[in-house]
Chain A
Amino acid sequence: KQEVTQIPAALSVPEGENLVLNCSFTDSAIYNLQWFRQDPGKGLTSLLLIQSSQREQTSGRLNASLDKSSGRSTLYIAASQPGDSATYLCAVITSGTYKYIFGTGTRLKVLA
């Protein structure tokens, strides 16, 4: 059974810092991995999608990498801003299914 874990569970950093969020999954047979942002009580905003054949994806200040063999993905946020404060979720689709299994989330707070 696929399990997705995110470390750390919460993170507080001063504005301007570069930071890394970690996502690990137990079954490396995945089709893709997607990173989302969620503001309190709000919906899911898709940030980056990495297909299983890809190693990384970039969008603006965000860079996500995928190492399928080790069951890990990292989301790198450059020059963090207070507006980046939110919960970040990773989710994977495991081979043979079409549904997302979500991680436990990292609650990020960027201090001005």
Chain B
Amino acid sequence: DQQVKQNSPSLSVQEGRISILNCDYTNSMFDYFLWYKKYPAEGPTFLISISSIKDKNEDGRFTVFLNKSAKHLSLHIVPSQPGDSAVYFCAASAYDGNKLVFGAGTILRVKS
């Protein structure tokens, strides 16, 4: 039972364009969402987060959008850079929880 789903295993984008990574969840108790980025042979690193009281959070080139009614969130990277090429994981947590539930990840390739 996958509570957090990233339906696109991979995404290829031209440098300078926008990358949009999508994530869907099923558990209505989730109210905190995070994106992590992972390079090969390294652990995931935190990128950006959003709580359910917001519908948008922005940090530089990275913006996360949350649509609670659709149980959907997305990560926008603009402009995309070759160094953004990595695996991106969506994760979620319930208010009274501390464990993160992760999606399977999306491989992003930014072509120069």
Is chain B a partner of chain A in the same complex?
no
